[in-house]
Chain A
Amino acid sequence: MPSFGAKPGDTTSSRSVFHLWQGFSIGAVVIGALVLALLGYAVLRYRARGEAIPAQTQYHIPLELAYTIVPILIVFGLFAATLVVENREVANPPTKVTINVNAFQWGWKFSYPGSSAVVVGQTTQDPVMVMPVNTDVHINLTSTDVVHGFYVKAFNFSRYALPGVVNQFTFRALNTGTFFGQCTQLCGLYHSLMFFKVKVVTDAQYQSWLASFSGNTSAAYSSSNALSQQLSTGVATKQTLSSGAK
């Protein structure tokens, strides 16, 4: 089935969003092609020839009913498919891993409850959110100042970081790799530079990464850590995203 411009992404949810996207796209293409074909036919076929006045037909009740009722059925079909994907996506199953994400002007802070691991980064240094693969990861998202948007393209997902609200959702990454993230909601002067990265690693790597923070009580960007050093070098590019997606 064609992708219609979207990608399956790297989480369980992103896959179902992708399939929903395909379903909507098939509907859109079929309906769009039908309307364009009818319009094209009318434009080519009924170009004025002479001064004759055409039949002044104004109503065709069965036809009008048909193009009222059929779209209603299509809409309820789309809604049903939406509900299936949405209920799965917004479900918050109990998880073993939780990450608190705090957005601020203009950067991100990722902290890991139950451990001293904290990653902070601003416009000059993209912070990296490390998470284990094939594990449900619970995210608590909030903002300290204005509204921000937490968006990971490879996860086909975004959610606002709102001041005074903790938004909760769950990711289950299917592949290891580094994925590109960014603030999508206008948040002031340096909105364009508010990037982050998501590094999906194996469980063993994740545990050793967490362990490397033990004893380090200060909440700071830990450049002493080997893996974060490795992560912090290199510029966030879409190439890393697409290579991660494959």
Chain B
Amino acid sequence: MTDLLERPAAAEHPEPAEQHGPTGLLKWLTTTDHKVIGLSYTITSVMMLVIGGALAELIRAQLTSPNNTLVSFAQYNELFTMHGSVMIYLFAGPFAFGGLANIIVPIQIGAPDMAFPRLNALSYWLYLTGSITMLLGFFTAGGAANFGWVAYAPLSNSLNTPGAGADLWIGGLLLTGFSAIFTGVNLVATIFYLRAPGMTMFRMPIFTWNLLVTAILILLAFPVLTAGLIMLYADRHFGTHIFSVAGGGVPVLWQHIFWFWGHPEVYILALPFFGMATEIFATFSKKPVFGYKGMVFATITIAALSLGVWAHHMFTTGVVLLPFFSIMSLLIAVPTGIKIFNWIGTMWRGQLWFSTAMLMAIGFLVTFLIGGLTGIYLASPPLDFFTHDTYFVVAHFHSVVMALVLAGMGGLYYWGPKVTGYMLNERIGKAQFWFLFIGTQVFTLPMYALGLDGMPRRMAVYPHDPQWKALNDVASLGALLIGLSTVLFVVNLVVSWKKYPAGDNPWDAQTLEWFTTSPPPHHNFYRLPAIRSERPTWDYNHPEHRALGHGTREESH
């Protein structure tokens, strides 16, 4: 019934007939290969993670005592503005949909490359120049942007925030925004048009599904941010009054525009990492993703709801319809809960292999659970009035984003061998996991207590209070542990450099990318297996262990 191809061992693969294009530096500069571009994205975004992390360590150092003078008020405002901007705009998104997705999605669906390889290269170069543009603010006379990563009007106008740092921030964000839009176009086109024969929509791995939904969200949300940034720039330099009361404008309009992008952005960041964790749970449980179709519908539901919840960031403005945005926000807990139960269902009665990637994914699940549950409070306007702009909110979203960092690190340990052909050291990896996981909890949990005790965010100094100081010190210790975990990651890269050859499928993984060589050849595949489910590699390797539908039991062989 099926014509399964014999798969030669890696060594027996025929060499490519010809070397494609240049090598060395010229290759990196001129490539249109999605794997090389994806790797450039990954390396650049991890560097941004390190820069953003360094800024965070400075913030935490300043807060170790109430009236610290390590940095000035002005410098502190720059620090948290650029920390947030670097992490959100330059690390999390580009790492997920520019880096890992760029590399993995085409291989997962059996495509030779992205649909528009040159557009893909343009995306990367826009991202790199945008990132440099934003960071150059530190070298201007007035310093980098200092109005918070949300740039609320009218604080962000030219009267309150003069100087080139703010303009470079806007310019950098415009460039990286276009880079995201182009990547979104590319992902949608690739997933719709370049799937291998047999790879129907409901045979796509969850990671690819999540990236499809992410890309659609990018196309809906990012143009709104771009428009808003152009309006902001016009207010600053062309004499318009879109966001200023004096000229008949409406300052709160900026918040609407920003969060209409900003809340979908939360899921643009999160969904790819959810996808990474899903793949990891399945592989290291030796089971299919539990509730695969429910998972897909949950992802689509999250995306749909995310377009109608932006004003939950604006409950305390007093100018939005509270019940509507409250119920929409609360409802997001439902599909998110489905995902959490599906992840546990995937592990249930599995054979769990606690590799570094799996530990990272479990760490993601625990941390995301904390961040998710505390998010439910913030969907309730009275509780939001109570906690808005305090450290409770800071703790909530740091639980969420640190969960994403855990999943992302899991993704690097999981797919790194596929991309490079070499494994990372598992012992150092596990040490890195414990530093990262424990550090994250030590860092976030005291901030919940600080927020409930009334400490507002974005304060360079705070009132003398022994309890506040103690909680801040513990949080800073957590940040230090997280920093050390990053050092361990870099050590691991050095120690493992071309040391442990990976083979094609070191994890006995299930999806299509594990069928090809590590690293995959130019255009990814020499041959494809029959694609009869979302895990063709597993079906090929374990034909007697197909996924069971509801109510079916394993047949005896």
Contact = CB atoms under 8 A, between A and B. Distances in A.
Interface of A: 5-6, 13, 16-17, 20-21, 24, 27-28, 31-32, 35-36, 38-39, 42-43, 46-50, 52-61, 63-64, 67-68, 71-72, 75, 78-79, 82-83, 85-86, 89-90, 145-147, 149, 151, 153, 156-160, 162-165, 167-169, 180, 182-193, 195, 236-239, 241
A36 B341 CA distance: 11
Interface string B282-304: 00011111111110000000000
Interface in B262-308: 285-294
A43 B351 contact: no
Contacts of B385: 17, 89, 156-159
Contacts of B369: 32, 35-36
Contact of A163 (B147, B245, B390): B245
B347 A42 contact: yes
B367 to A, nearest CB: 12
Contacts of A68: 294, 334, 338
Interface range for B:
35 or more
Contacts of A48: 286, 351-353
B376 to A, nearest CB: 7
B405 to A, nearest CB: 19
A192 B460 contact: yes
A189 B458 contact: no
B388 A149 contact: yes
Contacts of A60: 290-291, 345, 550
B370 A32 contact: yes
A182 B390 CA distance: 11
Given A53-B286, A90-B322, A189 B352 contact: no
A192 B380 contact: no
Nearest to A195: B463
A39 B365 contact: yes
Given A68-B334, A159-B316, A162-B252, A46 B285 contact: yes
Nearest to A167: B318
A208 B239 CA distance: 50
B258 to A, nearest CB: 12
Given A5-B448, A78-B380, A186 B77 contact: yes
B468 A186 contact: no
Interface in B370-428: 370, 373-374, 376-377, 380-383, 385-386, 388-390
A162 B152 CA distance: 11
Contacts of B458: 186, 191-192
B73 to A, nearest CB: 5
Interface in B209-250: 245, 250
14 contacts: A6-B386, A17-B383, A28-B373, A55-B548, A60-B290, A85-B382, A147-B155, A147-B251, A149-B389, A162-B319, A164-B245, A165-B317, A165-B318, A241-B454
B132 interface: no
Interface string B48-90: 0000000000000000000000000110110000000000000
Contacts of B28: none
B251 A163 contact: yes
Interface stretch (B193-201, B433-441, B539-547): B539-547
Nearest to A159: B316
Contacts of A195: 463
A56 B457 contact: no
B484 interface: no
A55 B352 contact: no
Contacts of B460: 192
A164 B382 contact: no
A180 B454 contact: yes
Given A35-B344, A39-B362, A53-B545, A58 B288 contact: yes
B388 A184 contact: yes
Nearest to B330: A75
Contact of B381 (A5, A86, A237): A86
